[in-house]
Amino acid sequence: AQSVTQLGSHVSVSEGALVLLRCNYSSSVPPYLFWYVQYPNQGLQLLLKYTSAATLVKGINGFEAEFKKSETSFHLTKPSAHMSDAAEYFCAVSAYTGNQFYFGTGTSLTVIP
């Protein structure tokens, strides 16, 4: 069975500071992992995905994530936070049946001016 755990339901960073959002996964098979972003009152938008081609994955808006099998982690980072990064971020793992996604509980990112 697949699942993801996001540590920290709320993260605050100063503008220009490093953003680090944590995601750990559990999977009995090689995982396929995704990060989505949700801006207020909107649907989810794909930031990036890991499909085993490369462990360091670059996404949109300057975000990237590194797949670490030994740590079962797929943390999301951005070197310098912008005010526009304030949103809810979801980590997800896909299953092999029906392409189901299992989402984490989300991390709300606040960027302080």
Partner 1 sequence: NAGVTQTPKFRVLKTGQSMTLLCAQDMNHEYMYWYRQDPGMGLRLIHYSVGEGTTAKGEVPDGYNVSRLKKQNFLLGLESAAPSQTSVYFCASSYKASVYNEQFFGPGTRLTVL
Owner of token pair 């396929």: 32
CB-CB contact of 63 with 36 (8 Å): no
Q: By C-beta, is 70 or 99 nearer to partner 1?
A: 99
To partner 1, the closest distance from the beta carbon of 18 in angstroms equals 24
Q: By C-beta, is 18 or 46 nearer to partner 1?
A: 46
Q: By C-beta, is 14 or 105 nearer to partner 1?
A: 105
Q: Rounded to an integer, what is the distance from CA 108 to the centroid of its chain?
A: 11
Binding site for partner 1 (CB under 8 A): 9, 32, 34, 36, 41-46, 49, 51, 90, 94-96, 98-101, 103-106
Token pair in block for residue 69: 């099998």
Q: What whole-number distance in Å separates Cα of residue 86 and Cα of residue 25?
A: 24
